[in-house]
Amino acid sequence: MSGWFVYIVRCADNSLYTGVTTDIERRLDEHNSDRKKAAAYTRSRRPVSLVYSENCPNRSSACQREATIKRMTKLEKEQLISSKTDK
C-alpha cells in the first residue's frame, strides 16, 4: 500500500499516541530512536509499538482521521484497536 497512513502506537507506559505518515516503518523507527524526529511525547515513553494503522488516500484525509481519533477517549481508541485486530 502507498499513500498516507494514520497510526496509533502504544508507549511503554501504556499510553497511546496517534500520528500520520507516509512510511510507518520509518516513523516507528524515529519514535524509538534518539533522533530529533521522534515526537516529544514518545521520546520519554519508549519503546513504542504499532497497534493500529489505516490507509488514507491523501494527507488531508489522514489528518482529518487523526483529529477524529485524537478526540476519542482511551476506551474508544482501545475498541478501535481491538476491532482492527479481531478481523
Quote the pLDDT of residue 37.
79
User: Between vectors from CA 60 to CA 67 and to CA 28, what angle results, nearest 5°?
Assistant: 65
Tell me the pLDDT tens digit for each residue of 7-32. 999 999 999 999 999 999 999 999 99
Question: Residue 87: is its pLDDT beyond 80?
Answer: no
Q: Strand 49-56 and strand 16-21: pairing?
A: unpaired
Domains along the sequence of the chain with CATH: 4-75 (3.40.1440.10)
Residue 16 host element (H or E)? strand 16-21
Handedness of CA 6, 41, 69, 32 (dihedral sign): positive
Quote the pLDDT of residue 19.
97
Res. 72 pLDDT band, cuts 50 70 90: very high
What are 19's strand-pairing partners?
7
| Other C-beta atoms lying within 10 Å of the C-beta of residue 35 | 10
Tell me the pLDDT tens digit for each residue of 32-57. 997 777 888 999 999 999 999 999 99
Quote the pLDDT of residue 5.
97
Distance (Å, whole) CA 35 – CA 22: 18
